[in-house]
Structure 1
């Protein structure tokens, strides 16, 4: 068992482990922002439908998520490259949103068909949104780490 802990510790202190931890913490912040905006816009103020509220929440949370991931988790600085970083990041955010819209619509329909109160409906919608984004979370890490925010290795820098 002690070797297991050493292995886990070794992974955590490695660059990929530190990046993964920072990505996870950035995601926690993004989830809190998304869920808070979604609950306020849909659950408290009832400004929009569950689906429209979900789009608003995703758009709001994607901005700090991008900068937390790019600057803090992957340590990139300087101007963002629009086609290599910004467009793919937002594309992934909206792939998650598309899945989330399906689950949110299903959750709201389920809650309505069972005669739940609006607050229960709002909780179902929030939970559905969180589950949908959780499904794409692991895949996004590998996309970010492999293509989107990866640093050039010394051999690539020498060839450029």
Structure 2
């Protein structure tokens, strides 16, 4: 009679993004979340500029208005993270990464405001110029921001062991 041996597989370390959607799905979902955040930011920015806020204040408030819902939507939908976020491991690194986007958007909007001031561009035309500068700054850092969020902030720890 042949003897059958059983081999128990050793536990394996999870992939960096185990339990999360695949890369392309994460990218599309993060981009979709970013579009939602941008829409919220745009309404805020245009409204504040229309009411006479400075480009720096308007763009800073607009960025925060979009960043808050973006964090929760992207965290849950793009990276499948649930539960209470860890402050040191997730929230603080997230704030550092989105700070890059804020600097680019607020900086370019402020620069556009400084340029349009002496040119005496005003009213709706100025709002469009400032809005375009804000969007360009936001778009410039999206890819870098996504890579940092994907590889550093929302990366699953390598030490997680799955039972088989």
Note whether the superposition's TM-score is higher than 0.5: yes
What TM-score does the superposition give when structure 2 sets the normalisation length? 0.80
What is the CA–CA distance in structure 2 between the aligned matches of 1:94 and 1:49, rounded to whole Å?
Answer: 20
1:102-122 Cα distance to aligned partner (Å, 9 max, x none): 211221122222222221111
**Superposed structure 1 runs of 4+ greater than 3 Å apart:** none
Q: Confirm whether residue 50 of structure 1 aligns to residue 45 of structure 2.
A: no
Q: Confirm whether residue 120 of structure 1 aligns to residue 108 of structure 2.
A: no
How far is 1:100 from its partner?
2.0
Structure holding more helix per residue: 1
1:62-99 Cα distance to aligned partner (Å, 9 max, x none): 11010111111100001101111111112222222122
What TM-score does the superposition give when structure 1 sets the normalisation length? 0.82
67-76 or 95-104, which deviates more: 95-104
1:133-154 Cα distance to aligned partner (Å, 9 max, x none): 111110111111111112245x
Which blocks of at least 5 consecutive residues in structure 2 are unaligned?
1-20
Question: What does residue 22 of structure 2 align with?
Answer: 15
Q: How many residues align?
A: 142
Which blocks of at least 5 consecutive residues in structure 1 are unaligned?
1-13
Name which structure has the greater RCO, CA cutoff 8 Å, separation 6+: 2
Q: Confirm whether residue 104 of structure 1 aligns to residue 109 of structure 2.
A: yes
- What SS does the aligned partner of 2:150 have? helix
Q: Confirm whether residue 65 of structure 1 aligns to residue 65 of structure 2.
A: no
Q: Does the Cα contact within 8 Å between 1:111 and 1:120 map onto a contact in 2?
A: no
Considering only aligned residues, what root-mean-square deviation do their CA atoms show, in Å?
A: 1.7
What is the CA–CA distance in structure 1 between the aligned matches of 2:145 and 2:69, rounded to whole Å?
Answer: 16
